[in-house]
């Protein structure tokens, strides 16, 4: 994989919503076939394409495959978050919660608020509304120009 491949991939992603979903998926599939050194990345990108076009059932096995094949770095973190979201949409809420709790406990990076947000969605789907609201408020509190500490304390007390 080289920088040119990534640049071309981003160009295809910019077309999402401007071309048909079928054409978008087709272009991602064709582009990932050019990737000979990482089937994990290819599976991840195809999963993303299916997921982004409302085909969660097709995305789920590809996310799992990418992770099983050793996906690393930021793509691995994204794959876990996106798999968890897909699982929630596919009715596998407890597995979604489990994955996101693992991510929250074991990793920390710029996607922490995304983990909390998707965990909040899954917890809400499981009827755990107070914890879901608490996670959401904590995530939001970090980005407010004022009231950060107050909102964070309220979230802790839920």
- Give domain limits for the chain: 3-127, 130-157
Q: What are phi and psi of 110, to 5 degrees?
A: -65, -10
Place of tokens 């990737």: 35
pLDDT digits (tens, 9 = 90+) for 134-153: 999 999 998 998 998 899 89
d(CA 54, CA 57): 9
pLDDT digits (tens, 9 = 90+) for 99-124: 999 999 999 999 999 999 999 999 99
Pick one of 1.25.40.10, 1.10.3210.10, 3.30.300.30, 1.10.540.10 as the CATH number of 3-127.
1.25.40.10
pLDDT digits (tens, 9 = 90+) for 22-81: 999 999 999 999 988 889 999 999 999 999 999 999 999 999 999 999 999 999 999 999
- The answer to whether 63 and 47 have CB atoms below 8 angstroms apart is yes
pLDDT at 37: 84
Among candidate residues 104, 86, 74, the one with its CA nearest the CA of residue 49:
86
The pLDDT confidence band at residue 1, using thresholds 50, 70 and 90, is low
Q: Collapsing DSSP states into helix, strand and coil, what is residue 16?
A: strand
- The answer to whether 65 and 84 have CB atoms below 8 angstroms apart is no
pLDDT at 158: 85
Query: What tokens does 5 get?
Result: 């491949």
pLDDT at 2: 76
- Cα dist. 4→1, 8, 11, 58, 151 in Å? 8, 6, 11, 27, 44
């Amino acid at each position: 994989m080289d920088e040119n491949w990534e640049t071309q991939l981003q160009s295809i992603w910019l077309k999402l919503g401007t071309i048909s979903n079928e054409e978008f998926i087709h272009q991602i599939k064709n582009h990932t076939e050019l990737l000979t050194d990482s089937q994990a990345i290819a599976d991840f990108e195809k999963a993303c394409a299916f997921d982004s076009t409302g085909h969660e059932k097709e995305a789920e096995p590809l996310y799992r495959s990418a992770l099983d094949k050793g996906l690393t770095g930021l793509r691995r973190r994204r794959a876990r978050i996106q798999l968890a979201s897909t699982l929630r949409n596919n009715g596998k809420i407890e597995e979604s919660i489990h994955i996101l709790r693992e991510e929250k406990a074991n990793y920390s990076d710029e996607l922490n608020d995304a983990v909390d947000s998707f965990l909040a969605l899954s917890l809400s789907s499981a009827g755990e509304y107070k914890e879901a609201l608490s996670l959401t408020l904590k995530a939001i509190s970090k980005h407010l120009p004022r009231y950060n500490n107050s909102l964070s304390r309220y979230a802790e007390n839920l």
